[in-house]
Structure 1
Amino acid sequence: MSGLETAIKQALERSDRANAETRARIYQSARNALEAGLRKQNVHDETVIAQQRHRLEVAIHAIEQQERAALRDLPVVTPPAAPQGQNSRVEPVVQDVVRAEPPATTREHRREEPGFDDVVPDRHPSAASRPAPTAQAPRSHRPTVEIDGRPRDRTDDRTHDRTDDREDASFTPMVAPDRDPHRPGAQARDTVNDLGLPGAEPLVPRRRRGRGGRIASILMVTAVLVAAIGSATWWVMSTGLLERPQGQPAPPPTVAAEDFDGGAGLRTLGAQAGFTADWVDLYLPTASGGVTPGARVRTEVVRDEGGARLRITSGAGDASGNVAIEVPASALQRMAGQTSTLALSVQSANGKPTQFSVECDFASLGDCGRHRFTVNDEKSDMLFKIGFDRTTSPNGPGRILINSDVTANGGGLDLYAVRLLPGQ
């Protein structure tokens, strides 16, 4: 605290240092400067604040002791000797001598100042428990009387001695703890206050969390987010949430040796498209023959406002429930060595959808496999392609085999016509 001591001493030199009240104001200004310096440096630690206050009080106490000692050593002016022959009675000479004495305060409000005899560190400094020092007007211009060549104070000096002894007995000396002069901030000083006093020694503020702490926090948050996204992705993939539903209807039952392709669409003719002259009629219900039913199938020709048609009702899904439609040899000759199109104009007989099958037996040309179709209560034209590589002309007629219900549930089928488009 050498800077504080120097500043206080300079302030005393520029003022009436013999006046105790003036000195008290200077000391109080130094305390205010210390508090302002601590606030500027954002020091909030009670222990550190108490230590700084204690160091200032030690410096103030030392300066005050020096000032008191200097005032005690001031010379006392003696009156001139009285001439002989006059009244030899000695008149007391009253002289105003400025003497610095400790403020007359009560025990409850007296400020305790640290001393320098046997100074030991204070283990438990407490700023809150130490009352704030107060300055009171000293007793100045006290009359003194010169008796036997020595000035004596009219007031009993024993009162002053008892006061000093009581102060020395109740004083607990304290000293600021040693500190490393090379610590950070040891050389910094606050140079602005009310008296030009340097402020308290600045303390290093609490170290803030650097860039590394922020980077670690960002990395931790990123890791948590990545883990959450990964867990959500794994859950979606494992549960198949994004997969397209596979619950498409299964293909209808099939019969062995058939070549029905359930995925291929059925070609039909529009109601207004009709059939051109290139089409050859293989069967019409108006014909008297050309139909041969199996053992477990019923056939009849129905004529009403809907037109003439052959109603087929199969009782079995095998060959015994088939109806054979005769194909003349002339039509087979036009199909030899090329691809042709067969068209069947059909409708369900009982108003319910039914599945029927179509097979071919074209003598020496071969067969066309087995085709299966689903028909409802609306008249439709079912078309499919047939091709033959053989160019040998057959010498006999062929057959087209139709089963009205491959599920053997007794479904009926109305057949309006069977037509052929050779070479297309």
Structure 2
Amino acid sequence: MDPIEKAIRSAFEKGNADDKAFRENVYRKAFAALDRALQANPNLTVEAAINRRKVLQAKIVEIETEFIPAVRAAEPELPDPLAGAFEMRMEPGTAPTIAAPEVSIEPDGTRQHQAGPGDLGAFDVRGELAPPSESGTIDREPSVLPDPDASRTRRRRRPLAVFFIIASLAALIGMGFLFAFQTGLFKSPAERDTSVPNPPSTAEGEDFIPENEEPPVLSSQPGEDRAWIGIFSPSDATSVSAPTDTTAEAMEDESGNFFRIRSGETGSAIVFDVGQGVLEQIAGKKATFDIVARAAEGQETEMAVDCNFGELGDCGRKRYAVGYEKADFLFELTLPAKSPGAGGTIAIVSDFANQGKAVDIYEIKVSVGP
């Protein structure tokens, strides 16, 4: 199961998947999360961004078809669960999202398309463009006998349909250029803002993450059968370094002990020491790091993680959407077989947007695999 389908189905488990409104909310959040990921990655081309939206839309349509038989049996006439799930919009500072057509399911099981402003009709089973009916729906069932009047009507409307197709393509191209301009794709490398390192375009940590869902994991999940090596626990405050414009405070509630960290307005990170002995144990091996955390004060945030392991290298920049629930945020590294020479660090920015949001850190640990 690919990460997109897995994330959507995991979101369904949090509520009533048979509820159309609940599913539509999950789909909207999926597109919103994809938009945030695309905006955070200015190196991504317009074509790649459009393809990612098409892949997400196709996967949603595939999942939604599983609920159609249940809708037919329970309700004689009900709009398609995808109707209104998405909207085409282009707001300043955001990327365009793809709109899904509205459809309905008739009592006899016929699936019909709801015509709207600028509707171009739909292809019937004979491959011809059928115009909307006066009721605002387009029947996808072929007529038994040919209708000469209907054929003449279709021929008259074909020029108008071609015009709308051309206009739609022009609008899509225009929005693509606007998206490219806003994200700085037309600028030279010297003109782009490089004050904050951009994550790689293939980083799984920035793929679709629905709200209140755990982030995707590279290959492993935390489990009781793993032998974990502790890096940080709330009982040891000496391994935490907080710059002047940041805070790190030991706290406790019904969920247990934790450190509440808050980044400064300058985006400074709170640093957690990784002992030299820990690095020596994982050198030359495949290591899985686990940061157990949650968003503080009921405010969801985006957490950024950087590593510096001296002679063993770094982990690159990782970014995670952190929700209200305590969760495991993991990443994997294959470290070179050499002596680290010294200890290392893991630096965490609690709010990548620099809005002052905090994160509760319960534990940082690492385990090694074969």
**Alignment TM-score, normalising by the size of structure 1:** 0.41
Larger Rg: 1
